[in-house]
Structure 1
Amino acid sequence: MSDDYVVSEIEKDYILTLLDQGKRIGGREKQEHRPIKFELNFVETKAEGSAIVTLGETKIIAGVKATLGSPFPDTPDSGVITTSAELSPIASPYYESGPPGDDAIELARVTDRAIRESHCIDLSKLCIVPGKYVWILFIDMYVLNADGNLIDAATLASLAALSTTKIPKVKINEEGEPEVLDEKEVLELDHYPVTVTSYKIGKHRIIDPILKEERIADCRITFGFDEEEHIVSAQKGGIGVLKPDELVPIAKECLEVSKSYRAELLKAIEEFKKKGN
C-alpha cells in the first residue's frame, strides 16, 4: 500500500487511548475478530472453485483454475499449486495499477505457505502421468476492499474456494496423451489450515485490525495452524521488534482465534454441501 495513507496523530492517540482502556474502535476486544461472511462457488462456469470472503469491511475473491501441465523435475509424481494476489485501486485508492507490488507478493506467499506446508491437498492425487502430466491448480485472489488484515481473509477465501473445487476426470488415449472429460470429481482436502495475524501496537497486541489500526502497528506476525493445533507456517512483518518471550503468548492467542476462524469456515462449507453442491 502506498505510504500516502497516513493516520493522523489525533487518530493514533485515540486508538492508543482506547487500547489502554482495553477497548478498540467499534467496541471489539483485543483478540476478537470481525464478523465473517462466506459466499461459496459464486463463479460456476469460469473457475473450478471460487469464494468471496468478507471480514468486516475487507472483502476478497478467490478463484481456482485447473490446467494440465508438467510437474517440477524434483517432484515428478506431484501436482502443482501456484498462488497469486492482485491489489488494485478498486480495493483502495492507495493501491496502484501495474505489476504485483511487495504487498501482493507477500500476501500470495504467506497464503501459499499455509496451504502448502499444512499438506491440506494430497498432490500425488493430482498426478496424471508421472513426470509428464499433472494438474496445476492456480489460486488467484483479488482484493475488492481493503480495510485491514488481508492475510487472514485471503487464507480463508482460498480454503473456501478450494473446498468448492471440482477437477475434471482424465483418461489416457491410445497415444498415451490425456483427454479431459466432462465429468468432474471433488477436490479432497485433508486439512483446513487458517492463518491468524497478531499486530503489535505499542505495548498492546490485537488481531484482525481495521486499516487505521493496521497502519499504526509496529509489527505483525502471522501463524498458520491446522485443525490439530500444529503451527504450519509463520511470517513476521514490519520493522518493529518481537522479543523471544513474546512469541509463545502470541502463538497461544492466535491459536484460540484460529479455532473461531475454522469453525466459521467449516460451517459455511457444511451449509454449502447441504444444498447439494
Structure 2
Amino acid sequence: MADDSKTARPLEYYRKFIEKDVRPDDRNLEEFRPTILNIGCVGTAEGSALVKLGNTTVMCGIKAEIAAPKTEQPKKGFIVPNVELGPLCSAMFRPGPPGDQAQDLSSFMNEVVKHSCCINTEDLCIVPGKYVWVLYCDLVCLNYDGYVTDACVLALLAAFKTTCLPTVTMDEDTDKLETDDNKKSPLSIQCLPVSSTFTIFDENILLVDPTIEEEALSTGEVTVVTTNDDQLCIIRKPGGSALSPQQLDLCIERAFLRSKQVVRLIHETMNSVDR
C-alpha cells in the first residue's frame, strides 16, 4: 500500500515523512548520503577516482597531453572537464551528443576549477611559450540517483589528488621533448573545493543531498561550493523557489561542515593507500 501511495501520490507520500523531520530513506533533512571514495581505479590514467554518493556513482579519469599554450598566456596550461550522462546511468538520458544537463555540468566543473583556484595553471607549463600540459578530465556517471553535481566535484578533486605528471625536458639543440615516465611529480593542489547541494521542498523546506525522487519533487535548488581554507567559492541558484537570507545562511553553514567531512574522507583514503 505504501508503494502504491508513493507511485500515485509521491508528493503526499514525502510530506508524511518530512512532517516528522525524516525522509523515506531514513535520513534526517540535514543528512548527506553515505559517501564512498575509491582512488587510483583507472590504471591507464594519470589520475582517477570513483565516488559513490548514496547510489549516485561517478568515475573520473584524468589524461595529460602536451600542447602549445595560448599566445596571450604563454605560461598557462589547460584543464578541460567533460561530464558524460549516458543511457547506462539512467533511462532519462539518450545516446548521442551531450545533452543540456551534461553540458551545464561540464561548464560548472570548469567554474569550480577556475573560481576556487585549486590548480595553478602555470604549474602546467613545460616550456614557456612552447609547451604546456592539457589535463582532460573525463567524468562518467555510472548510476544517476539524484543531483550528481556533488559527486562530480568530489570525483574530480580526488582524481586531481592522485594525478602525477611525468618529467619532461627539452633538448635545446633539437627542440624535441623527452619524457621520463619513471620520474613523475604529483600535481600541486592549492585548495580543496567541495560542492553541497540543497533542494527546496514545498517552497520552504530544505533537503540536503537529494535523491532522484526528491529532485523531481523539488521546487528549487541551490549548490554551494566552499574550500578547505574556509572560503566561499560559488553559490549557484538556477531558479525555482526563492531562499530567504536565513535559509541561504543555513545552506552556507552546512556546506562548510560538509566540506570538512569530505576533506577528511579524502585524506583518510589517501593515507590508507599510502600505507
Tell me the TM-score normalized by structure 2. 0.92
Aligned-partner Cα distance in 2 for 1:243–1:43 = 43
Q: Deviations over 1:53-110 (max 9, x none)?
A: 1111111100000000122333221111110000001000111111111111122222
Q: Once the 2 structures are TM-superposed, how far is the Cα of residue 268 of structure 1 from its aligned partner?
A: 1.2
Change beyond 3 A, Cα 1:122–1:150: same
- Is 1:127 the counterpart of 2:125? The answer is yes
Change beyond 3 A, Cα 1:220–1:73: farther
Q: Is the 8 A contact 1:110 1:235 kept in 2?
A: no
Residue 237 of structure 2 aligns with an amino acid whose one-letter code is: K
Q: Deviations over 1:199-220 (max 9, x none)?
A: 1112210111111011111111
Aligned-partner Cα distance in 2 for 1:220–1:76 = 39
Q: Is the 8 A contact 2:46 2:163 kept in 1?
A: yes
Residue aligning to 1:33: 32
Residue aligning to 2:187: 187
Aligned-partner Cα distance in 2 for 1:245–1:125 = 40
Q: CA RMSD in A?
A: 1.6
Once structures 1 and 2 are overlaid, which stretch shifts more, 243-252 or 157-166?
243-252
Aligned-partner Cα distance in 2 for 1:149–1:176 = 48
Q: SS in structure 2 opposite 1:139?
A: strand
- Is 1:206 the counterpart of 2:204? The answer is no
Q: SS in structure 2 opposite 1:237?
A: coil
Once structures 1 and 2 are overlaid, which stretch shifts more, 8-17 or 25-34?
8-17
Q: Once the 2 structures are TM-superposed, how far is the Cα of residue 238 of structure 1 from its aligned partner?
A: 4.2
Aligned-partner Cα distance in 2 for 1:256–1:148 = 21
Q: Once the 2 structures are TM-superposed, how far is the Cα of residue 190 of structure 1 from its aligned partner?
A: 2.0
Aligned-partner Cα distance in 1 for 2:260–2:104 = 24
Change beyond 3 A, Cα 1:74–1:199: farther
Aligned-partner Cα distance in 1 for 2:71–2:240 = 37
Aligned-partner Cα distance in 2 for 1:128–1:163 = 20
Q: SS in structure 2 opposite 1:265?
A: helix
Residue aligning to 1:3: none
Aligned-partner Cα distance in 2 for 1:148–1:270 = 29
Q: Is the 8 A contact 2:37 2:51 kept in 1?
A: yes
Aligned-partner Cα distance in 2 for 1:249–1:20 = 19
Aligned-partner Cα distance in 2 for 1:143–1:238 = 24
Q: Is the 8 A contact 1:160 1:269 kept in 2?
A: no
Q: SS in structure 2 opposite 1:252?
A: helix
Residue 258 of structure 2 aligns with an amino acid whose one-letter code is: V
Aligned-partner Cα distance in 2 for 1:170–1:253 = 43
Q: Is the 8 A contact 1:198 1:254 kept in 2?
A: no
Q: Once the 2 structures are TM-superposed, how far is the Cα of residue 36 of structure 1 from its aligned partner?
A: 1.1
Q: SS in structure 2 opposite 1:264?
A: helix
Query: Which ranges in structure 2 are unaligned for 5 or more consecutive residues?
Result: 1-5
Residue 24 of structure 1 aligns with an amino acid whose one-letter code is: R
Change beyond 3 A, Cα 1:271–1:115: farther
Residue aligning to 1:197: 197
Aligned-partner Cα distance in 1 for 2:138–2:154 = 13
Q: Is the 8 A contact 1:225 1:232 kept in 2?
A: yes
Aligned-partner Cα distance in 2 for 1:94–1:23 = 27
Residue aligning to 2:101: 103
Once structures 1 and 2 are overlaid, which stretch shifts more, 34-43 or 260-269?
260-269
Aligned-partner Cα distance in 2 for 1:12–1:179 = 61
Change beyond 3 A, Cα 1:216–1:179: same
- Is 1:21 the counterpart of 2:20? The answer is yes
User: Moved runs in structure 1, 4+ residues, more than 4 A?
Assistant: none
Q: Is the 8 A contact 1:31 1:257 kept in 2?
A: no
Q: Is the 8 A contact 2:123 2:188 kept in 1?
A: no
Q: How many residues align?
A: 267
Residue 200 of structure 2 aligns with an amino acid whose one-letter code is: K
Q: Is the 8 A contact 1:82 1:139 kept in 2?
A: yes
